[in-house]
Amino acid sequence: MKEINFYLIRHGQTEWNVLERMQGSQNSPLTEKGIEGAKITGQYLASMPFICAYSSTQQRAIDTRDYILAEHNPSVPAIPRFEDADFCEMDFGLWEGQPIAELNLQDDFQLYLNSPRVFTAESNQGEHTLAVLARMQQGLEKIIAQYDTGNVLIVSHGTALRILLNAIRGCEWYAYRDETHSPRIANTSVSIVNFKQADHQSVGQFSLQQYNDVNHLG
């Protein structure tokens, strides 16, 4: 029997989040609020016996993970840390670093926001939604192949997590920007996904236990 609980957390607030600039494969540092949010999340999860802790390879996610683990209960054994590019943010190509207010004036950006089913990502030379979903799922599968039971911490990114969690809910991939059932993922929010596979099953089952929870942030 396999059973793994994935604690999926978006990185803390960054400077580009505050400036409302498009962030993706490029990085900007955590703000003081972002660091504080990571520490509070760490305190919230301080006694959780994680078997390992992952982040994307992007510095804002690595830093958030490390701030979270720095708050962990000293009585809990040391937690192995890993970085995996599968958990990186969507690559927004030519849009990265640009003010979102200016991007909102572009037809292709509106297509990305409102019609992801037909947005190809060719105009911005970025990454397609399905490519992000495939690698996020691949990242989870690699962990499942390595562990049988336990709790796993993963620090990732807003759009990438939204795409993944939308699919785990069983929704069509292009519905991930629908605010009615897939609200925007908040900084240092906690979502929990359970994976379960009985010994007689060839394929396991993912189920969403908690989405975008920010109650611990006050």
Closest by CA to 153, choosing from 123, 119, 191, 108, is 191
**pLDDT tens for each residue of the chain, 218 residues long:** 999 999 999 999 999 999 999 999 999 999 999 999 999 999 999 999 999 999 999 999 999 999 999 999 887 788 999 999 999 999 999 999 999 999 999 999 999 999 999 999 999 999 999 999 999 999 999 999 999 999 999 999 999 999 999 999 999 999 999 998 899 999 999 999 999 999 888 899 999 999 999 999 98
Q: For residue 98, is it within any domain?
A: no
Q: For residue 83, is it within any domain?
A: yes
Is there a catalytic annotation at residue 127? no
Residue 133, classed as helix, strand or coil, is helix
What count of residues does the chain have?
A: 218
**Joined tokens for residue 91:** 């690559």
Q: For residue 75, is it within any domain?
A: yes
- Catalytic one among 89, 96, 127, 157? 89
Query: What string of DSSP letters covers 15-74?
Result: HHHHHTB--SSS--PBPHHHHHHHHHHHHHTTT--EEEEEE-SSHHHHHHHHHHHHTS-T
Q: For residue 117, is it within any domain?
A: no
pTM over 0.95: yes
Q: For residue 111, is it within any domain?
A: no
Q: For residue 150, is it within any domain?
A: yes
* 205-213/50-55 β-pairing: unpaired
Is there a catalytic annotation at residue 102? no
Q: For residue 200, is it within any domain?
A: yes
**Alpha-helical segments (H) within the chain:** 15-19, 32-44, 59-70, 100-103, 107-114, 129-146, 158-168
Closest by CA to 52, choosing from 75, 87, 81, 10, is 81
Q: What is the pLDDT of residue 64?
A: 98
Beta bridge partners of 9: 155, 190
Q: What is the pLDDT of residue 202?
A: 87
Q: For residue 103, is it within any domain?
A: no
- Domain containing 189 equals 2-91+129-217
C-alpha 51/C-alpha 79 separation (Å) is: 6
- Catalytic one among 11, 72, 96, 127? 11
State the amino acid at position 186 in one-letter form: A
Contact 160, 90 (CB under 8 A): yes
State the amino acid at position 51 in one-letter form: I
**Joined tokens for residue 45:** 């999860």
Beta bridge partners of 81: 53
Counted domains in the chain:
1
Report the Cα 54 to chain-centroid distance in Å.
11
Domain CATH code at residue 66? 3.40.50.1240
